[in-house]
Structure 1
């Protein structure tokens, strides 16, 4: 393991003292320090490494499909203390900056999460709104407009979710939202200084930790699920002779001929199947992935809304109404993102500024350290990008009658880091790990979202569960039909070979390949 900042060395383990995330300020009393059994079990049907959104939904789908399975989940720190508990709170399908079939997959993932949250009445502050993507570069905006025109022509089902708002339009854009036509202008969207904007439906915001806490608590209550926190996995070893395992019947003709020994700081556990939901930390256990999935540090801050100038009384807390994404060209490399928490706190959750971090955060897996240049950028930049004034009268869509505020530094309540897993070819890796990549029968991976985990991970997890249950990469027929995993996501030896002929992640980052991710961490 080399020093951090290198993009061709294996990742370390999650550090013991991560920065304090806003999303981890209300930990689950059940999950905090949880170990279902005092001692680590000696064996399980399936071991899942990682307790974020991928691991949690994989466990949920496994128990849903095969309730009798004995599932053990191992987490290096507290439950959901990694990327899922540190992100920007967004869940937006990338409708126009991914190929249409992948946009459709992200839409299905978004819809799956939305239905899951609503059907279980999960208290995770799920809110559906519009996503405003403000462009501060005419070149990038014009490029996006051309892409969207083509999408609307060739894929109207996807294009129906997108509207384009141009600068100085005599006729404001119309947009259908929740059955009502809205008139959109840049000023009304609070981004009058932008060159233009793309507005999309289905922009969810949520408290991701609380969603995952609900899933894990529900699994624990149902039984047959053992969560072991503070148990970092230090290594894997394939056992090519029969091992003593609890009964796992993955089809009538499947016979357990081997298994895996999972080494941890508290002892070893054997299992026929191991699923690595390890994202940025994957190469710590699979060194062959050191140049395929690399850790990248991002940073987010929560801010108090700017105060209203006195003696003018405020009519209520600031309400920015939408979720936001701000993008500019390679000179500025702005790829910032913003949501707002509900009243009464109404905190602004703002992330980005990665270009201001040393080495752009590439190859860094330590989330304990806050980069001060990034923190200062986040404090000072937002009030210059958008109008944070408070409206005196509700319902004024075009910006009239506001208490205007000068550009100012915002007051942070929390400033934290999170570690993303960037993929060499830009797509997640879902499926069986081949022997040539430190794997073999029974070892599975679901990781490498390149900052786009929320609109991908849940159905990627469901897809890999289908493969585990069926015993092959085509997956369970019923699940495969529901999910339709993009072929680009499937982990194969051929794909690994091709990925190593692609430009490196550092080279891709230099040209701005990762700038348009609408979900961070």
Structure 2
């Protein structure tokens, strides 16, 4: 049985939000029965519950919903990620087009890109933009080496070749090939060139808590913190599924698994398909409006950093990745659940990053964290890795009444909202609720990409992949990167 670690490192997103929902329990006792049981209270679980509410609120057919969370509310990956709403507009195109064809790759990109419009519409409709620090703007992939620029430009050129300069997506991307102009735009010292495209940013933890507040205020959700699901049954003769917790049992007509990395905890068929990855992030004090755009630095296909700056009154820089350093010991992040530990040397790496990497840094050197290193200033967090790099969304094959949206492969922000918008009407149909209306914001999404679907064929075929070999190959590739000239030296790191 695999459950989240009890005492994870503290995250600025969580500690800085000071949400009253952190350990919320709507009722003192666990309800005995519900229509829909959602396991997981992060971005996936909260957005799915929100869509159920929006699809049915006008006609009063909203099913009873209970949400279980193993730890505190939204204390997992969503409360620990980088805050970037950053679709892959072009940077995975070669791989995806080889696997799914040029049109298949474009459909994935269009689905991710649609999240920018949906977030804008949804948060505007709910009057939440300022509350959750939402911004739309531009982001960049800064090439910090010739190797990185060859790869980034190659992705862009391949997509432009396949779809033409007038394609709706490629038209939104642009190259800056002058080093001087690239440095000025990215504010990154030594940036050789860059690709720029639309993006967004949000305080992910506040976003989730805002959605949950809407549901709680409407009386549409029973939310139960610190209540891990330990066992699930098949659907019984009464038509209900029994879920066991340390606080008792609850029966449900349907169960929605929104547990991302931990989906295999209750469903063995996902234990070889969805596994852990561990990332690291920091929150740095900065002058107001100092960084103009979100972005990422790339040295090769492995070594990178990514960052954003929050709007006033926070002004905090969120910096993640630290791969120039952590790449020396890849087992720190490959198939690793230890979010109760800091990465080796990472606090010092982040403190030195602004002066070392950012043009005209105006803050202190070394930089100050918004909170103490172990009080929310620097943290680690578990995200999911997927065996084929795509999530699993839909009815779970051979498990009547069970549905899944999990395995978002460290890239959930521009994938989850559309995935749960797709899943909501499927669950309503399964409950026999037909009289519902698709909300305007959900209509913006194109159909869910086929590689996301949790089909029986896909799940069965993927069982044959040797995950251990995949981990070893990834480790070997990362160690190769660690020996390149641009890997940050750190003699205490184990390199064997």
TM-score bracket relative to the smaller structure? 0.7 to 0.9
CA distance in 2 between partners of 1:14 and 1:482 (Å): 32
* Alignment correspondent of 2:146: 138
Gap regions ≥5 residues in structure 2: 93-104, 371-376, 482-496
| Aligned positions of 1:29-48 closer than 5 A | 29-48=19-38
Q: 1:445 to 1:160 in 2, by over 3 A?
A: same
How far does residue 192 in structure 1 lie from its aligned partner after superposition? Answer: 4.2
Corresponding residue for 1:206? 202
* Aligned 1:402-441 pairs, distance under 5 A: 408-413=365-370, 414-435=377-398, 440-441=399-400
| C-alpha distance in 1 between matches for 2:458 and 2:317 | 40
The residue number in structure 1 matching 2:271 is 290
Confirm whether residue 373 of structure 1 aligns to residue 345 of structure 2.
yes
Q: CA deviation at 1:140?
A: 2.9
User: Shift in Å at residue 157 of structure 1?
Assistant: 0.5
1:384 to 349, 356, 359: 356
Cα separation, partners in 2 of 1:30 and 1:378, compared to 1, 3 Å: closer
> 2:484 aligns to what?
none
Out of 490, 497, 503, the position equivalent to 2:460 is 497
- Which residue, 346, 349, 361 being the options, matches 2:318? 349
Q: Contact (CA 8 Å) 1:46, 1:271: kept in 2 or not? A: yes
TM-superposed CA distance for 1:95, in Å, is: 0.3
Q: Which has the higher helix share?
A: 2
Asked whether 1:228 is paired with 2:239, we answer no
Aligned 1:236-251 pairs, distance under 5 A: 236-242=232-238
Q: Secondary structure of the residue that 2:186 maps to in structure 1?
A: coil
14-23 or 444-453, larger mean C-alpha shift = 14-23
Of 102, 123, 132, the match for 2:108? 102
Partner of 1:252: none
Q: Please say which of residues 143-152 and 51-60 is displaced more in the overlay.
A: 143-152
Separation in structure 2 between the aligned mates of residue 124 and residue 508 of structure 1, nearest angstrom: 39
Match 1:90 to one of 73, 84, 107: 84
Counterpart Cα distance in 2 of 1:501 and 1:480:
37
TM-score, normalised by the number of residues in structure 1: 0.79
Q: Distance in 2 between matches of 1:382 and 1:493?
A: 48
Residue 388 of structure 1: CA displacement? Answer: 4.1
Shift, 1:149, TM fit: 2.4
CA contact 2:182–2:192 (8 Å) conserved in 1: no
Structure exhibiting the larger radius of gyration computed from Cα positions:
1
Deviations 1:225-280 (A, max 9, x none): 100111111111113312xxxxxxxxxxxxxxx23111111011011110010001
1:451 paired with 2:410, answer: yes
Compare 266-275 and 462-471 and name the one that shifted more: 462-471
Shift, 1:379, TM fit: 2.6
Q: Which residue of 2 aligns with 1:323?
A: 294
Q: Deviations over 1:131-186 (max 9, x none)?
A: 021112312312321321233341520012111112447xxxxxxxxxxxxxx532
The alpha-carbon deviation at position 329 of structure 1 amounts to 1.8
**Partner SS, residue 168 of structure 2:** helix
The question of whether the paired residues in 2 share the 8 Å contact of 1:356 and 1:374 is answered with no
Identify if the C-alpha distance between structure 1 residues 410 and 482 changes in structure 2 by more than 3 Å, giving closer, same or farther.
closer
Q: Which residue, 153, 169, 177 being the options, matches 1:158?
A: 169
Q: Could you give the per-residue CA deviations for residues 400-434 of structure 1, whole angstroms, max 9, x where no partner exists?
A: xxxxx99x532223011111001000111101222
- The answer to whether the aligner puts 1:124 opposite 2:89 as a matched pair is no
Structure-1 separation of matches of 2:354 and 2:106: 32
CA RMSD of aligned residues (A): 2.6
Name the stretch that deviates more: 152-161 or 124-133.
Answer: 152-161
**What secondary structure is seen at the aligned counterpart in 1 of 2:241?**
strand
Q: Deviations over 1:70-117 (max 9, x none)?
A: 000001112111111111111011100232211100011222112111
CA distance in 2, matches of 1:303, 1:168: 27
Q: Secondary structure at the match of 2:29?
A: coil
- Structure 2 match to 1:361: 333
How far apart, in 1, do the equivalents of 2:27 and 2:313 lie?
A: 40
TM-score norm. by structure 2 comes to 0.82
Q: Distance in 2 between matches of 1:200 and 1:28?
A: 33
Partner Cα distance (1:131, 1:382) in 2: 18
Distance across 1 between alignment mates of 2:473 and 2:200: 28
Instruction: Quote the Cα distance in structure 1 between the aligned partners of 2:251 and 2:446.
Output: 30
Q: Which position in structure 2 is the counterpart of 1:52?
A: 42
Cα distance in 1 for partners of 2:444, 2:283 equals 40
Does the 8 Å CA contact 2:118/2:445 hold for their aligned counterparts?
Answer: no
Cα distance between partner residues in 2 of 1:239 and 1:190: 56
Structure 1 window deviating more from structure 2 (53-62 vs 131-140): it is: 131-140
The 3 A distance-change label for structure 1 pair 286 and 356 is: farther
